[in-house]
Chain A
Amino acid sequence: MPVKNRFAELQDEITVWRRDLHENPEILFETHRTSALVAEKLQAFGCDEVVTGIGRTGVVGVIKGKSDTSGKVIGLRADMDALPIHEATGLTYASKTDGAMHACGHDGHTAMLLGAAKYLAETRNFDGTVVLIFQPAEEGGGGGKEMCDDGMMERWGIQEVYGMHNWPGMPVGSFAIRTGAFFAATDQFDIDFEGRGGHAAKPQETVDTTVMASQAVVALQTIASRNADPVDQVVVSVTSFETSSKAFNVIPQRVHLKGTVRTMSREMRDLAEHRIKEICAGVAATFGGMATVEYHRGYPVMVNTEEQTEFAAAVARAVSGNCEDAPLVMGGEDFAFMLEERPGAYILVGNGDTAHVHHPEYNFNDEVIPAGCSWWAEIVERRMPAA
């Protein structure tokens, strides 16, 4: 069973939607036009229920199958937001908004889930209920978490959730997935070292924060090299270092460090946070200063559950003939919050040989549409087969 014929027919129409979204990118929770357009289309397709304002600007649509003897409810999720990047593709339908761009293909994700919704509302060839989830603010805003916090899972009785992301470098329409931890937990930290500033010619009267913070930057490298289980994954990057003064003859009072931590397990995440605090406090104490560490937990580890992943891979194989094992991804994914609440799976679909996501020359490949839409439709029809 390759792609569904209906999606070959719908491809041109879905491409028009996708390019319209591409031309009108909106960032974070500001997806007002996009959300309105999604809601309008879902209404027009004949969805049984369309609700806006879930997780601020998120949209939820409900399609009931021909029957509901299974009592199953499956959530399908797409993201709608763009990135604060100035587009450099030179496309005829390039972004009309300066400094905003669909550089991660969320235009394609939204268009494909709309395409699947149109088909599913037409055919309803399943036994159960589909909940279509369109989320804002995947790129750092935690829109998925806000939708969960609004009680979405309970309100619609969602039992399983599925998500999809296009992936440059994989053949168009091919699939890849992995069980267990898949995308990294992404945390940030701010560290302030407080010493005693003074004249640079009188070091004996100061507690030099630059030396202290440099010592800490070097010591933090040992979290990955000495504290972590070598089999586990962790990245600790100090990305910003700034002395409170920039003069050449003043030893500054404070140094501010910023950085990020990427981990693939709860244990490693806890260990990294704990060691960062311990190392900074210890180094500061060694030199007679003080360290204040603020550790901000961002997206959790995104974990695909085994049964749903096997099912999703089987569907992918049915659609495209194959499903590869995906590598671990050290980037973060907001869908992790939904997967923390319900079992489910997230899959990658090949975008061909394009620029990388988040690159100003990236573009979603419209040739992915038939395979992506078919996967969505088959997930529904196979997980909740019509009687």
Chain B
Amino acid sequence: MAATHEFFIEVTGHGEHAAHPEETVDPTVVASHIVLALQTIVSRNADPIAQGVLSVTAMETSSHAYKVIPQSVRLRGTVRTQSADLQDLIEWRLSDLAEATAQEFGGAARIEYLRHVPITSNATEPAAFAAEIATSASGGCGQAPLIMGGEDFAFMHQERPGAFIFVGNGASAAVHHPEYNFDDEAIPAGCRWFAELIERRTPAA
């Protein structure tokens, strides 16, 4: 599962009356250029084989009046990546593009970049073992796709080798959906996997 990072960009221009753009540095125009420029990180800078998402999810001008050009604009968004190289590239390009674009228009950009959850990567040997248990418990173990969502379990993986597995919940609504529900029929398979994992990894003498 992906590393989940969050960013804030504060674009500061110079606000004034909307009838006098010549006296302003319009932060809405600057921020819009930044949003567009950020699209090129995935399309132009990233290795096409690597997986990454950068989404600007919120944008708000510091004022909401019709006739005032605001002093600043705040952008917020998320970055999801599946590799350490891409993580670094995106963070670096994001700061660079935002600062340079703001400067180009005579404004300034302040960036806060928060590395929340790291990549959840299964270690090879524990993952193979976990799959073997799953196969014996339910007769098969599918190949999971890469997930661009984040998983807090990643922190435990950073400290110890291990594996993270998916167990089917049937044709229910997706997680985070207001109509989702855990399917109790998954209980036997889930419990069996945990129990067998212990019994086979640490067999009784």
Chain A residues packing against B (C-beta within 8 Å):
184, 186, 188, 199-203, 208, 210-211, 213-215, 217-218, 221, 235, 237-243, 245-252, 255, 258-260, 262, 330-331
The answer to whether B66 and A240 have CB atoms under 8 Å apart is yes
Complex formed: what's the CA distance from A201 to B33 in Å?
A: 22
Q: Which residues of B contact A242 (CB under 8 A)?
A: 59-61, 64
Interface residues of B (CB under 8 A from A): 2, 4, 6, 17-21, 26, 28-29, 31-33, 35-36, 39, 53, 55-61, 63-70, 73, 76-78, 80, 148-150, 176
Residues of A within 8 A of B59 (CB): 210, 213-214, 241-243, 255
Q: Are A330 and B64 in contact (CB under 8 A)?
A: no
- A166 to B18 alpha-carbon distance, docked (Å): 22
Interchain Cβ contacts under 8 Å between A and B, 14 examples? A200-B53, A201-B4, A211-B39, A214-B33, A215-B36, A221-B29, A238-B26, A239-B63, A239-B64, A240-B65, A242-B64, A252-B58, A258-B65, A331-B19
| A184-B19, A210-B57, A249-B78 known; A218-B32 Cβ under 8 A | yes
The residues of B that contact A255 with a CB separation of less than 8 Å are: 59
| Interchain CB contact under 8 A, B65 and A239 | yes
Inter-chain contact B57/A248, CB cutoff 8 Å:
yes
How far is A201 from B76 in the complex, measured between Cα atoms in Å? 14
Out of A210, A239, A247, name the residue touching B35 (CB < 8 Å).
A210
Docked complex Cα distance between A188 and B21 (Å): 15
Question: Which residues of chain B are within 8 angstroms of A262 by Cβ–Cβ distance?
Answer: 18-19
Q: Quick check: B76 and A248 within 8 Å, CB to CB?
A: yes
A260 touches B67 (CB 8 A): yes
Contact (Cβ within 8 A) B58 A237: no
Q: Which of A186, A215, A217, A247 has the most CB of B within 10 A?
A: A217
Complex contact B68–A239 (CB within 8 A): yes
Closest to A332 in B: B19
Instruction: Give A133 to B36 CA distance when docked, in angstroms.
Output: 52
Pick the contact of B32 from A188, A203, A217, A248 — CB < 8 Å? A217
| A211 pairs with B65, CB closer than 8 A | no
Beyond the given A188-B67, A246-B60, could you list 13 further A-B residue pairs with CB under 8 A, ordered by the A residue number?
A200-B77, A200-B78, A203-B55, A210-B58, A218-B32, A237-B67, A240-B61, A240-B63, A241-B60, A242-B64, A246-B58, A248-B77, A251-B55
Q: B57 to A250, Cβ gap below 8 A?
A: yes
Which of chain B's residues have a CB closer than 8 A to the CB of A245?
A: 57-58
Q: Which residues of A contact B57 (CB under 8 A)?
A: 200, 210, 243, 245, 247-252
For residue B60, give the distance in angstroms from its CB to the closest CB of chain A.
5
Report whether B36 and A211 are in contact in the complex, using a CB–CB cutoff of 8 Å. yes
Chain B residues within 8 Å of A249, by CB: 4, 57, 78
Which residues on the A side are within 8 Å of B73 (C-beta)?
241
- Would B148 and A239 count as touching, CB distance under 8 A? no
Once the chains bind, are B58 and A247 in contact (CB under 8 Å)?
yes
Please indicate the chain A residues that have their CB under 8 angstroms from the CB of B77 in the complex: 200, 248
Please give me the residue from chain B that is nearest to A255 by CB atom: B59
Task: Please name all residues of chain B whose beta carbon is closer than 8 Å to the beta carbon of A203 when the two chains form the complex.
Answer: 53, 55
**A241 and B61 within 8 A (CB):** yes
B39 contacts A241, CB within 8 Å? Answer: no
Determine the residue in chain B with the shortest Cβ distance to A356.
B17
Q: What is the distance, in angstroms, from B185's C-beta to the closest C-beta of chain A?
A: 26
In the bound complex, what is the Cα–Cα distance between A237 and B80 (angstroms)?
A: 34
Q: A330 contacts B19, CB within 8 Å?
A: yes
Q: Which residues of A contact B6 (CB under 8 A)?
A: 248
Measured in the bound complex, the distance between the Cα atoms of B68 and A248 in whole Å is 27
Question: Is the Cβ of A235 less than 8 Å from the Cβ of B18?
Answer: yes
**B70 & A239 in contact (Cβ 8 Å cutoff):** yes
Partner of A239 from B55, B60, B61, B78 at Cβ < 8 Å = B61
Q: Report the bound CA distance from A255 to B60 in whole Å.
A: 10
Cβ A211 vs Cβ B56 within 8 A? yes
Bound form: Cα–Cα A240–B26 in Å: 11
Residues of A within 8 A of B66 (CB): 188, 239-240, 258-260
A330 to B19, CA, bound (A): 6
- Residues on A with C-beta less than 8 A from B2 are 201
For the complex, give the distance between the alpha carbons of A285 and B39 in Å. Answer: 19
A235 shortest CB reach to chain B, Å:
6
Residues of A within 8 A of B53 (CB): 200-203
Q: Tell me how far the C-beta of A85 lies from the nearest C-beta in chain B, rounded to whole angstroms.
A: 13
| A259 lies within 8 A of B18 (CB) | yes
From A203, A214, A238, A251, residue with most partner B Cβ within 10 Å: A214
Q: Which of B33, B66, B80, B176 has the most CB of A within 10 A?
A: B66
Residues on A with beta carbons closer than 8 Å to the beta carbon of B36: 211, 214-215, 218
In the assembled complex, the Cα of A213 lies from the Cα of B67 at a distance in Å of 19
| Residues on B with beta carbons closer than 8 Å to the beta carbon of A200 | 53, 55, 57, 77-78, 80
How far is B29's CA from A213's CA once the two chains are assembled, in angstroms? 11
Contacts of A215 in B (CB 8 A): 32, 36
CA gap between A262 and B18 in the complex, in Å:
9
Tell me the bound Cα distance from A191 to B77 in angstroms. Answer: 22
Q: Report A-chain residues with C-beta under 8 Å of the C-beta of B69.
A: 237, 239
The 10 A-B pairs of least Cβ separation, nearest first, read: A201-B148, A214-B32, A214-B35, A217-B32, A330-B19, A200-B55, A237-B18, A240-B64, A246-B58, A188-B66
Are B78 and A201 in contact, with the CB atoms below 8 A?
A: yes
CB pair B18–A243 under 8 Å, yes or no, is no
Task: Report the bound CA distance from A242 to B31 in whole Å.
Answer: 12
